[in-house]
């Protein structure tokens, strides 16, 4: 073997080792980078998933809050409608009660005629009846069907008492009073149904009439 060949053998061997070493180092670096990239990808997906879950939870929370607020507003509006109806019936009953007393007062108690004149104030009765009917439309829109139906029948009882029983003469006092008590009973039933719909306790005054 020549001297040149002898020199090249170690160089080639060293070069091959160097190349192998570089290749192994590069391979390890590439593998490490891939693992790092994979871990980063997993972490990124996890973070994205966490963000999505957090966004979904926030969205669900907002929707629940909106539902609660809508439900509260609806309840408040319904309470207001019920209160307006009861107030309208109160005012109507005051006029109807005065008219009933005028129809049933005994002739010997003439002084009562100053409080309950014989002639009906039909304009005021009609006005108060109109107010109650207008509120009824809102109550029927917002109330459960049973409560709305009972409210409608209560208004009908008032109209029937006003139009038929107060204008017919001569009026039998006993019959007129019986119809009046029936009207008040229907109204108590309505008030009980309203309290039940709102989840309110029924007072002994309401149940006894």
pLDDT one-digit tens code per residue, 59-113:
777 777 777 777 788 889 999 999 999 999 999 999 898 888 877 765 445 555 5
Q: Give the pLDDT of residue 184.
A: 93
- Any idea where the domains of the chain sit in the sequence? 68-208
Query: Cis before residue 154, ω within 30 degrees of 0?
Result: no
Q: Give the pLDDT of residue 90.
A: 94
Q: Give the pLDDT of residue 165.
A: 80
Q: Give the pLDDT of residue 115.
A: 54
Name residues of the chain where pLDDT drops below 70: 1-31, 53, 105-121, 168-171, 202-209
């Amino acid at each position: 073997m020549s001297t040149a060949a002898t020199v090249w053998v170690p160089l080639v061997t060293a070069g091959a080792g160097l190349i192998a070493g570089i290749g192994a180092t590069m391979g390890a670096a590439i593998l490490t980078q891939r693992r790092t990239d994979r871990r980063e990808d997993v972490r990124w997906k996890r973070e994205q998933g966490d963000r999505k879950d957090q966004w979904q939870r926030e969205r669900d929370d907002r929707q629940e809050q909106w539902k609660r607020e809508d439900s509260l507003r609806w309840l408040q509006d319904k309470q207001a409608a019920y209160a307006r109806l009861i107030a309208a019936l109160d005012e109507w009953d005051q006029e109807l009660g005065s008219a009933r007393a005028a129809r049933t007062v005994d002739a010997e108690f003439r002084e009562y005629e100053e409080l309950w004149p014989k002639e009906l104030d039909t304009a005021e009765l009609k006005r108060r009846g109109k107010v109650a009917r207008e509120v009824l439309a809102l109550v029927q829109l917002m109330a459960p069907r049973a409560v709305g139906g009972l409210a409608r029948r209560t208004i009908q009882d008032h109209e029937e008492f006003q139009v038929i029983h107060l204008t017919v003469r001569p009026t039998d006092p006993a019959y007129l009073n019986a119809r009046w008590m029936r009207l008040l009973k229907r109204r108590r039933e309505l008030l009980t149904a309203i309290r039940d719909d709102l989840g309110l306790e029924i007072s002994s005054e309401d149940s006894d009439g």
